[in-house]
A and B are shown apart, each in its own frame.
Chain A
C-alpha cells in the first residue's frame, strides 16, 4: 500500500505522518505546488499550520495545485485522510461537511484523549471495531466541529460520524462530541486527533496505527 503525505508550507506533522505510514506501507511526500499524486493508493493531509493559518485555517491550502488532484482523486473514490489541519482543509474544500471553529476555551490544548469508534465500516476504520476506545493525542486551537443541526442529523443517520470524543474528553466544544467524520461514500475521512502520534509504544499508545493501517 502506497501512501502520499501532502506537504504545504507550514505543515508540521507531515514527517510524523510519513513515519507512521511507513510502518504499514510505503510512503512519500507530495509537495503542494506539484499536482502529481504519484500513483499513491491513499492520501494523507497532515496537521500543522498550512500557510500560517492565514485568513482561515485551511483556506489557502485548499487551493494549492496538489489539492486539485486530491479533489479529483477523492471524487473518484480515492482514499483520503485529513488529520487536524488536514481535516480543516477537507472541510474548506467541500470534500467533508461542516467546519472547524476555535476551541471554546480559545486556547491551544495538547492532551491525550479517548475517542470511541462509531463507524467501523469504512476503509479507514477497517482495523477497529465499533465501540473500541482509542487513546490518541489531540493538539489544536481550532478544533470545534460544527455544522447546522439538519446536517448533523443527516451525518448521524448516514453513519458519517466516524469517531466521537469519549465522555469528558471533548475539550474543544465540538458539536455532539464529534471528533471525526467521513463523506457519504466513506472514502474520505477527517479527524482532529492525531493518529500519527500514537504509533509507537515508546512515545505513548499505538492506537493510531490501527486507523492509519486500516486500509493497508
Chain B
C-alpha cells in the first residue's frame, strides 16, 4: 500500500526556509500569511505498514530536530 510521510522541523527550532517563504509571499501580493514551515514529503509503497514508524525513527526523520506524520 501507498504511504506518505510528512516530515516537519520541530517547533521552536529556527526554520530559515520557512521564514524565507513567509517573506517572499507578500512580495508577490499574497497577504495574511503566517507561520510558514518547510519540510519534506516521502512517499513509499510498503507491504507492512506497521513498520513505517520504525523507518521514520531510524532513517526518514531525525527525531531530535524533526516531527513526522504518517498518512495512509
A/B: CB atoms within 8 Å of each other: yes
- Docked-complex contact B13 and A59, CB < 8 angstroms: no
A-B contact count (CB 8 A): 32
Q: Is B16 an interface residue (CB 8 A)?
A: yes
Which residue of chain B has its CB nearest to the CB of A57? B62
B11 surroundings in chain A (CB, below 8 A): none
Interface 9-mer from A10-18, A20-28, A96-104, A131-139: A96-104
The secondary-structure label for the interface of chain B is mixed
Chain B, interface size category, equals 10 to 19
Q: A99-B65, A106-B20 are in contact. Are A146 and B60 (CB under 8 A)?
A: no
Q: Pick the residue among A59, A60, A106, A173 that contacts B62 (CB under 8 A).
A: A59
Q: Tell me how many residues of A have a C-beta within 8 Å of chain B.
A: 18
A105 surroundings in chain B (CB, below 8 A): 16
- 14 extra interchain contacts, Cβ-Cβ under 8 A, other than A99-B65, A173-B14? A55-B40, A55-B42, A55-B60, A59-B59, A59-B62, A98-B64, A101-B13, A101-B14, A102-B16, A103-B16, A106-B20, A144-B14, A146-B14, A147-B64
